[in-house]
Amino acid sequence: MLVGVLSLINLAEAPVDDVLWDKLNHAIAYAAIAGWWAALLPGRRWKAAAVALVFGLMMEGVQGVLPYRAFEWADMLANGVGVLLGLLLSLWWLPRGFAGWWSARSQGA
């Protein structure tokens, strides 16, 4: 929800000099979204990643019609890279999801 709000607010006062930093922020935000949902739904990770990707595409589309925001293909690409990164990190770090991690932790493993 926070990413959605930040995607739509007026950032006229925000500095726009550093394009790399902007794209890195997109990737990190969408990696967090996709990774979180993929770890919550380990049997449906690909669906969780697809939902995160569609959310990113929709947010970028909505920005395109707002007078104080702009649609950018590079932002969509950064969102997609973040989704893929979040999915891969959840597969590597939490192969059985949060439930598996919690179960192993509570058993002292």
pLDDT tens readout for residues 73-97: 999 999 999 999 999 999 998 888 8
Mean pLDDT for all residues in the chain: 83
Which residue did the predictor score with more confidence, 68 or 14?
A: 68
pLDDT for 24 equals 92
Instruction: For the chain, give every domain's residue range.
Output: 20-97
Question: What average pLDDT does the segment 17-24 reach?
Answer: 82
| 55, 61 contact by CB (below 8 A) | no
